[in-house]
Structure 1
Amino acid sequence: MSPRFFTPSLLAPGASVDLPPEAAHHAANVLRLKPDDEVRLFDGRGGEWTAHIVRMKPTVHVALDRFDPASHAPELRVTLVQALPAADKMDWVMQKAVELGVAVIQPVVARRSVVRLSGEKLARRQLHWRNVVVAACEQCNANMLPNISPLHDLPQYLAQPAAENELRLLLLPGAGERLRDLPRPKGSVTILVGPEGGFEEGEIEIALLSGFKPLGFGPRVLRTETAGLAMLAALMAIWGDC
């Protein structure tokens, strides 16, 4: 199968574009592609283009050939609200969430979150997260680029109104209700996942007042980097496209 690359340039019939620097480096130095080799390009809006390489230097320049409008995004629109985990676990969460078909990733800071980001450090991390999401899309055949929402404090996020027919799920160890007990949602689904130490009682109360429904995983307690992904996989298996 031809290599896939994301380009921020909006793609249109008859266009030709330079690959972004990281994609160009991968094409030239890792894949060892040559002029006339076939590649696939997508701009994150859905569908993708079959194209061919025109030249490798001074930039990797690609000409578009034909468009495939097929959307690879699941009909079930899922938002993952993830309290920041320690170390680089957020990279792993984002990568796997993209592979599982997430539509939106909303990072939040809870009271027990170990990682705190602001200013230039936050800007660098957000750019890094975008690169993680782009690479995951290139690998897993996704052609809709999931949205990474700006980092919010948990109360700031919970103050936002729910969308129409949105099903809000708070993953909470010990909660009695299970996913199998719920009717098929009429709209989008949002999953709220706490940090390593879990949410404080006050945060749980605010989440419940904001329309979140507590949902458990049975007798097991999952890690923060596992819980949201496990629920996302279950949602896609029951109501999505898996």
Structure 2
Amino acid sequence: MKADWYALNGKMPRLYVAAALSVGARVELLEGPARHVTRVLRMGEGAPLVLFDGQGQEAGVRLVEAGRKRSVVLVERVWSGEGESPLSVHLGQAISKGDRMDYAIQKAVELGVAAITPLYTERGDVRLKDEREAKKHAHWQAVAESACEQSGRATVPVVHPPMALDAWLATRDEPLKLMLHLATGNRFDLAERPASAALLIGPEGGLTEQDIAAAESHGFTPLTLGPRTLRTETAPVVALTLLQHHFGDL
């Protein structure tokens, strides 16, 4: 169905909607996506789109209402999405300032990560509280959704609320658990193919000895990615690429 829809309609916008997708259903677009479709792309009634529900389903739809205050699509076809890696990676990413965290989340989603938890670490210099933390969390989830729109994924990875490193370590039960640590001699030469993995990336100043000891006590293996020091937003890109190459679909 997917191939037929694209063959019939060519290249078209692809949008995330948190709604059930079934043939014959009418779905009202939220204000942001609706404005993008009708005002930026200037699409009118009858125009084709692709929607995905974030849970693995995609749909070919057509605009049946394209007004300033209300835009509605009619679902014509539904199919299972593609683009999910056979390797389920949960990324624990130390929170960084500014756009760096957005970049790390965006690229991790593009590289097939299954879940992300922003972490408070000993050397991390970002501390969020209450409303500010809630706003950042919502923003990071939106970054993941946008990355799925761009990369063709139909399943949106969950960005969990920020938590302390110790608390995150205690919840990990993946068969493969890795943390990046420049000072170790352990290189990426693992032979076994796991179904899931946990990956810990430290802050700009690196993980402290206390962080490292805590991670090791929970079964994490220190790993180096070579002699050069990578920025905190670059490290997950390299590490996830290697994981997906060895155990996933790259």
TM-score normalised per structure 1: 0.95
Query: What SS does the aligned partner of 2:116 have?
Result: strand
Q: CA RMSD in A?
A: 1.2
- Alpha-carbon displacement from aligned partner over 1:144-176 (angstroms, at most 9, x marks no partner): 00011121111111222414xx20001000211
Q: CA deviation at 1:85?
A: 1.1
Query: What SS does the aligned partner of 1:50 have?
Result: strand
1:168·1:211 contact (CA, 8 Å) conserved in 2? yes
What is the aligned partner in structure 2 of residue 50 from structure 1?
60
1:15·1:63 contact (CA, 8 Å) conserved in 2? yes
**Structure 1: runs of 5 or more not aligned:** none
Q: Which aligned pairs between 1:1-40 and structure 2 lie closer than 5 A?
A: 1-40=11-50
Candidates 186, 192, 195, aligned match of 1:177: 186
TM-score normalised per structure 2: 0.92
Residue correspondences, number: 239
- Alpha-carbon displacement from aligned partner over 1:168-215 (angstroms, at most 9, x marks no partner): 001000211211x21133320111000011111111001001010111
**Structure 2: runs of 5 or more not aligned:** 1-10
Q: Which aligned pairs between 1:88-103 and structure 2 lie closer than 5 A?
A: 88-103=99-114
Q: CA deviation at 1:88?
A: 2.2
Distance 2:231 2:172 in 1: 28
Distance 1:239 1:156 in 2: 27
What is the aligned partner in structure 2 of residue 71 from structure 1?
82
Candidates 96, 109, 112, aligned match of 2:120: 109
Which residue identity lines up with residue 235 of structure 1 in the other structure? Answer: L
Runs of 4+ in structure 1 off by over 3 angstroms are: none
Distance 1:199 1:235 in 2: 21
2:82·2:154 contact (CA, 8 Å) conserved in 1? yes
Distance 1:218 1:187 in 2: 25
Distance 1:235 1:160 in 2: 21
